[in-house]
Amino acid sequence: MSVPFLLEIGTEEIPDWMIPGALEDLRRRFLEVMPGAAVSTDATPRRLVLRAARLAEREADREELIYGPPKAAPEAAVAGFARKQGISAGQLEVRQTPRGEYYTYLKKVAGRLTRDILAGALPDIILKIYFPKTMYWTGKGGPRFIRPIRWLVALLGDEVVPFEVAGVRSGNVTCGHRRLGKARIPVTIRSYQRRLARNYVLLSAAERRARIEAGIRELGLTPAPDQALLDKLVNLTEYPTPIAGDFAPEYLALPEEVLVTVMRHHQNYFSVREAGGSLAPRFIAVMNTDSDPEGFIRQGNERVLRARFNDARFFWETDQKKSLAARVPDLAHVTFQAKLGSYLEKTRRNVALVTELGGDQDARRAAELAKCDLTTELVKEFTELQGVVGGLYARVQGEGEGVALAIYDHYKPVSMEDTIPRTPAGQLVSLADKLDTLRGCFGIGLVPTGSRDPFALRRAAQGVVKILVEGKLHIPVRRYLTGIPELEAFLEERIRYYFKDIRGFPYDEVNAVLASGWSDLVDVEERLSALHAVRPTENFEPLAASFKRIQNILKQAQFTEGGDIDAMLFEAGPETDLYEAFEQVRRETAGREYLPALEAIASLRPKVDLFFDKVLVNAPDERIRRNRLTLLHKLLKEFSTIADFSEIVTTH
Amino acid sequence: MESFQQIIFNLKQYWADRGCIIQEPYDLEVGAGTMCPETFLRVLGPKPYRVAYVQPSRRPADGRYGENPNRLYKHAQLQVILKPSPDDVIEQYLGSLEAIGIDLRKHDIKFEEDNWESPTLGAWGIGWQVMLDGLEITQFTYFQQCGGIDLDLVPAELTYGLERLTAFLQAKDSVYDIEWAPGVTYGDVRFEDELQFSLYNFEMADIETLWQLFALHEKECQRLLAGWPDAPDKKRYPLLPAYDQVLKCSNLFNTLDSRGAISVTERVGVIARVRKLAVGVAQAWVEQQQ
């Protein structure tokens, strides 16, 4: 017999962003106890739910072999063992073991009831679900969870799985929407989801998402696409319904960035576009209820937004009383990092670095003003707009579009998905800012460890890589790492990640190219593209395998560099052929682009193969042996400047 | 339409009916109702307690000379402490909103993650900001630590922003337009207060004097704390007056901050000085209560 299972952990409102991770962890922990079960999970802010389709009602019976005393043991010991097992000595069986003959008992163990297993395991499964931050609520030393647990539903078939967590006993009673539903709703596994829906709880995230999307369509508005906001609202509501609101068009005089940030980040509203693409004086809010018949909710949201916009306008106007340029000295009072000084000092370093990197007048001016918006009211209120606000202010203060754009973009890219700054000046300012942060922090030992990266150095390094490659900036970046080995390794790690995980190059190709050295990342990209293009050609992988062989031979021979090839020592045939081909390819590839060069190198393959086939490297004559090793060494060295082929993982 | 004061009466009555004693505001400057001894010290130790009070809260940096319709130098908080927190605390809280005339079936309530923390008090908790139709009306916190001490019983702390709540209920765009009592606006009662304190805090407070006052109060607190370990009669030892000195320091710090007298670098250090006093008092207080 198999039975379905339902677990609902009823809680107070769980932070939306923690829900997906918690469900994944719940599923994993459950499967540890019920391996192979067909499990599905769901959640709303007030419940984490796990359902399993068909669990066996009990474990299979099994047999357990228990060893007693050796055959030679006194009778009393044998009788004692039998008594302990609850049987007579006659029922024992003597078995041969590696250590001799022993009395044994083959015990039949009845499989435990699934209900009992679950009753024992669920408290632990529940309390061990991982959350980034937990609390206790029943008193010091009490259990910890993300928020207080208020009810538990645990049903196996028609029966309650009995257990207790934090003083809450499991049962068959769930709870509806806080205001639209009933507080106590008895359920069965079959009726569970339907009864919740009747009590204004849409259990399925997909269903809530669909309801939001359909509701928006019904409003006839086109919101700015925003998957992250949609995800958030789906996990912030049990019964979501979108409504539209308006704001006075006069606020459109404020920069769109400010308006959108207020709506999106402070109020969780979707902003709305006109048909022409400009921002409309409207917004979409998503309620956690079914309707707004009297318009109270719309009016309330409109009033809140109006107040927020008024604040923003007040800050904007106040900030204009002092130009960015006049704020530079104020940066002396804003700490960048205790040991690395103020933002004024950082600004000076950034300007010097931009100059060193070849930045033009716009780039240098932008670097000088880039951090000044940290002293403005608007950025103090909307910190996520730093940079953007500086760019907007620079524009209205007549700094010129090149400067304004460079300031505006200088925190970009803020993620791997984000684009790099639009202009060369912006790219250099961003690059200098990030390099300075990396050099400074690594210089004083602030190196990220594990998940601890308070200065977001990983993101900075990733930005450096992305800007250099995608901005096609031929900058020998290694030269700007001030010779700190940890920083070089750190950046190499990010370069590897970028080409492998973002750009999708195979890991061995990335390894091969980086093993030949790196500094100008545009050059790295070109070498990598060429290698990737030549990889599928017929000759390449076998040649790569040969290169690896060469490397092994040299290593085994403990070959040390020195001395030139003595062509007179070569025998006619494969050896001379390889040498001549090597010389020819060397001449051909000098100064050529990477792809033709790699193709030419790959064409060496038949000669290399034949060489290994016919020629004995370890010739008895030491001079000949050394000459052959030198040929192989030169071959390897000469043709490993684009990529180290021995890093290529071959199937042969 | 309920007046500002009527809303306060209703909330106090609601919580009094649920076993809270109704306290009066603390008579020193504080930045939040949490800082009053009725919260900061009472949440410590194993004794259950329920209290509600309105606390005028001063935040010098938030002053706007009475010109901004939403920001105030001094606003009123209704502070409710339920120690330990009852299982149905959220339902009780929602009931309090209905008690002041909010029909929750016609409004949108959301609980959005917001964990409260006060570095100066060594205190933090887990909770939400409660959003009513997109407006934050309450901070809801399960206290976890206070004065750096894990709490024996976990209290629920509800902090209602009374001006906001009233502006919402009265549908007013400016806090100065809300009706305090029939025929009397909030502006009539409080405008001068906002104007003059903004002027003082931002422009006229004498920085040198404030630093001296800070040092004096800090010293007085340190003196009292130094006497605690060897105090002959611990039950009678004046820890409450020591805590008053902490509150003085905290308000002076806020005023200096709004005056622009504290650089970001110094800030951390000054906060640490106040926290040290707060933690010292909290630890002594726990011992005294045993």
What domains are defined for chain B? Answer: 4-200 (3.30.930.10), 206-289 (1.20.58.180)
Among candidates A147, A142, A143, which has minimal Cα distance to A131?
A147
Parallel, antiparallel, or unpaired: how do β-strands B184-185 and B179-181 relate?
Answer: antiparallel
Residues from chain A that touch B135, judged by Cβ atoms under 8 A, are 300, 303-304
The secondary structure of residue B174, as a DSSP letter, is S
- pLDDT at position A652 is 53
Residue B126, helix vs strand vs coil: strand
Asked if the Cβ–Cβ distance from B264 to A333 is below 8 Å, we say yes
Q: Is the peptide bond before A413 cis (omega within 30 degrees of 0)?
A: yes
Q: In angstroms, rounded to a whole number, what is the distance separating the alpha carbons of residues A339 and A341?
A: 6
Give the C-alpha distances (Å, rounded to integers) separating B103 from A647, B15, B100. 70, 18, 9
Asked if the Cβ–Cβ distance from B265 to A136 is below 8 Å, we say no
- pLDDT at position B235 is 95
Beta strand extents in B134-249 (DSSP E only): 135-146, 149-150, 156-161, 179-181, 184-185
Contact between residue B18 and residue B50 where contact means Cβ atoms under 8 Å apart: yes
Among candidates A134, A162, A136, A161, which has minimal Cα distance to A22?
A134
Q: Which of the listed CATH numbers 1.10.730, 1.10.1060, 3.30.450, 1.10.10 matches domain A530-647?
A: 1.10.730
- pLDDT at position B263 is 67
Contact between residue B141 and residue A147 where contact means Cβ atoms under 8 Å apart: no
Closest in A236, A292, A297 to B112, CB measured: A236
Between helix A507-515 and helix A521-534 the angle, nearest 10°, is: 130
Chain B nearest-CA distance from A314, in A, is: 8
**Global pTM value:** 0.81
Residues 28-87 of B with CB under 8 A from A: 64, 68-71, 84-85, 87
Asked if the Cβ–Cβ distance from B106 to A292 is below 8 Å, we say yes
Asked if the Cβ–Cβ distance from B110 to A338 is below 8 Å, we say no
Query: Which candidate in A333, A345, A346, A374 is best for mutational testing of the B interface (most B CBs within 10 A)?
Result: A333
| Residue of chain A whose Cα is closest to the Cα of B45 | A140
Residues whose CB is less than 8 angstroms from the CB of residue B240 and which lie 6 or more positions away in sequence, other chains included: B37, B41
Please name the residue that has the structure tokens 């682009």: A593
Contact status of B282 with chain A (Cβ, < 8 Å)? no
Asked if the Cβ–Cβ distance from A303 to B113 is below 8 Å, we say no
Please name the residue that has the structure tokens 């000295």: A329
Q: What pLDDT, in 10s, does the model give residues B253-270?
A: 999 988 878 765 577 789
- pLDDT at position B264 is 59
Residue B86, helix vs strand vs coil: coil
- pLDDT at position B265 is 59
| Residue of chain A whose Cα is closest to the Cα of B48 | A139
Low-confidence stretches of chain A (pLDDT beneath 50): none
Query: Which candidate in A152, A178, A286 is best for mutational testing of the B interface (most B CBs within 10 A)?
Result: A178
Chain A nearest-CA distance from B232, in A, is: 31
Contact between residue B66 and residue B60 where contact means Cβ atoms under 8 Å apart: no
Q: In angstroms, rounded to a whole number, what is the distance separating the alpha carbons of residues A257 and B56?
A: 36
Opening angle at CA A352, ends A346 and A358, nearest 5:
135
Block means of pLDDT (10 residues each) for chain B, 290 residues, are: 96 98 97 95 96 97 89 96 97 97 94 92 94 96 94 97 94 94 97 96 93 97 97 96 97 90 75 94 94
Residues whose CB is less than 8 angstroms from the CB of residue B260 and which lie 6 or more positions away in sequence, other chains included: none
The CATH architecture to which A324-493 belongs is Orthogonal Bundle (1.10)
- pLDDT at position A252 is 95
What residue ranges do the domains of chain A occupy?
2-58+114-198, 62-109, 205-318, 324-493, 530-647
Contact status of B152 with chain A (Cβ, < 8 Å)? yes
Asked if the Cβ–Cβ distance from B133 to A294 is below 8 Å, we say no
Query: Which candidate in A135, A241, A337 is best for mutational testing of the B interface (most B CBs within 10 A)?
Result: A135
Residues from chain B that touch A140, judged by Cβ atoms under 8 A, are 150-153
Residues whose CB is less than 8 angstroms from the CB of residue A195 and which lie 6 or more positions away in sequence, other chains included: A174, A185, A187
List, as one string, the DSSP characters of A327-376: HGGGGGGSEEETTTEEHHHHHHHHHHHHHHTT--HHHHHHHHHTTGGGGS
Chain A nearest-CA distance from B171, in A, is: 8
| Residue of chain B whose Cα is closest to the Cα of A303 | B173
ipTM of this complex prediction, to 2 decimal places: 0.94
For residue A578, what is the enclosing H or E element?
A: helix A574-589
Contact status of B105 with chain A (Cβ, < 8 Å)? yes
- Can you read off the two tokens belonging to residue A415? 């993620």
Among candidates A503, A416, A417, which has minimal Cα distance to A460?
A416
Chain A nearest-CA distance from B223, in A, is: 31
Q: In angstroms, rounded to a whole number, what is the distance separating the alpha carbons of residues A42 and A17?
A: 14
Q: In angstroms, rounded to a whole number, what is the distance separating the alpha carbons of residues B133 and B140?
A: 17
Please name the residue that has the structure tokens 């193709």: A599
Closest in A13, A17, A334 to B128, CB measured: A13
- pLDDT at position B204 is 93
Q: What is the mean pLDDT of chain B?
A: 94
Residues whose CB is less than 8 angstroms from the CB of residue A269 and which lie 6 or more positions away in sequence, other chains included: A245, A263, A283, A284, A285, A301, A305, B134
| Residue of chain A whose Cα is closest to the Cα of B110 | A288
Q: In angstroms, rounded to a whole number, what is the distance separating the alpha carbons of residues A289 and A270?
A: 18
